[in-house]
Amino acid sequence: MAGDRLKVQYPFWYGGASSMAACLVTHPLDLAKVRLQTASTPGQSLISMIYQIIVKEGFFKVYSGLTASLLRQATYSTTRFGVYEFLKEYYVKVTETSKPSMGILLPISMVSGALGGLVGNPSDVVNIRMQNDSTLPRELRRNYRNAFDGLYKVCKNEGVGSLFRGLSPNLVRGVLMTASQVVTYDGAKNVLIDLLHMDPSKKSTHFSASLLAGLVATTVCSPADVVKTRIMNSKGTGKSAFSILRSAVQNEGIGFMFRGWVPSFIRLGPHTIVTFLVLEQLRKFKIAM
């Protein structure tokens, strides 16, 4: 981002707060995406999935698992954004450069994304289960009241280790998401400012850069996201990420890895845009500083 901003020490939680705000807007789309990724047969559209949820389960069911989704952003996004900005600012301070190169930002983002995936994995497990619970037979439903109830029941019934089910693909997704989303945003913003001479303080600049970041992130993260969702939603089968991947490819074809790409982008695009717009406003007004 702009060199003058890198010199300011912004609060660690800005990224998490921005992602939580975006979560409130895009949660119904995220719910539909998870349902599409775990469906036994492909072909259903995003709109028909949302319509089906409202008709069969009620309007407010489109916010199923909201507490877990907010907790996930509070852990996962706070960590990845916070670590990314800390490492970036530390590099600038040590090397006395104004703008780190892409070769520096990529490894910084990968470390940040992996740490975010690790910290956010427990809430992600509960999040996916709560979103998909209504589709299960009644005798198999978990019926978590909220995110914290879900964490407690997972530990009680399945052991603490189950909170880290699907950790490998989640780490991969965290690395890919942060590298593609945050680095693309930084890179796109610099291009818009330096080459197209757009105003770095304008929302149109932030919107354009975040829209491109959402497009890149959706495409890069789709395979890991689908595999991660299936592992976390499984009921203690003990299958590895590789075996689930191999089975899905054999039964559904390679295209399964991009199932739900459109709803993923429809969800991740607005989520990315709202996240960075809110983040830039927090920085502009220096909230809580």
Q: Are 13 and 85 in contact (CB under 8 A)?
A: no
Query: Could you tell me the pTM of the whole model?
Result: 0.84
Element (H, E) at 244: helix 241-252
In tens, the pLDDT along 229-250 reads 777 777 665 667 678 778 878 8
Supply the mean pLDDT for the chain: 89
The span from the CA of 92 to the CA of 81, in Å, is 16
Copy the structure tokens of residue 276.
Answer: 């960075």
Domains of the chain: which residue ranges? 3-285
DSSP string, 115-180: HHHHHHHHHHHHHHHHHHGGGS-GGG----SSHHHHHHHHHHHH-GGGGGTTHHHHHHHHHHHHHH
Length of the chain: 289
Copy the structure tokens of residue 243.
Answer: 């075996």
Provide the pLDDT confidence category of residue 4 given band limits of 50, 70 and 90: very low
Query: Is the predicted pLDDT of residue 257 greater than 80, yes or no?
Result: no
Q: Are 22 and 278 in contact (CB under 8 A)?
A: yes
Q: Domain 3-285, what fold?
A: Mitochondrial carrier fold (1.50.40)
Copy the structure tokens of residue 273.
Answer: 């845009």
Query: Is the predicted pLDDT of residue 162 greater than 90, yes or no?
Result: yes
In tens, the pLDDT along 78-108 reads 999 999 999 999 999 999 887 889 999 999 9
Copy the structure tokens of residue 247.
Answer: 């089975």
pLDDT for residue 5: 44
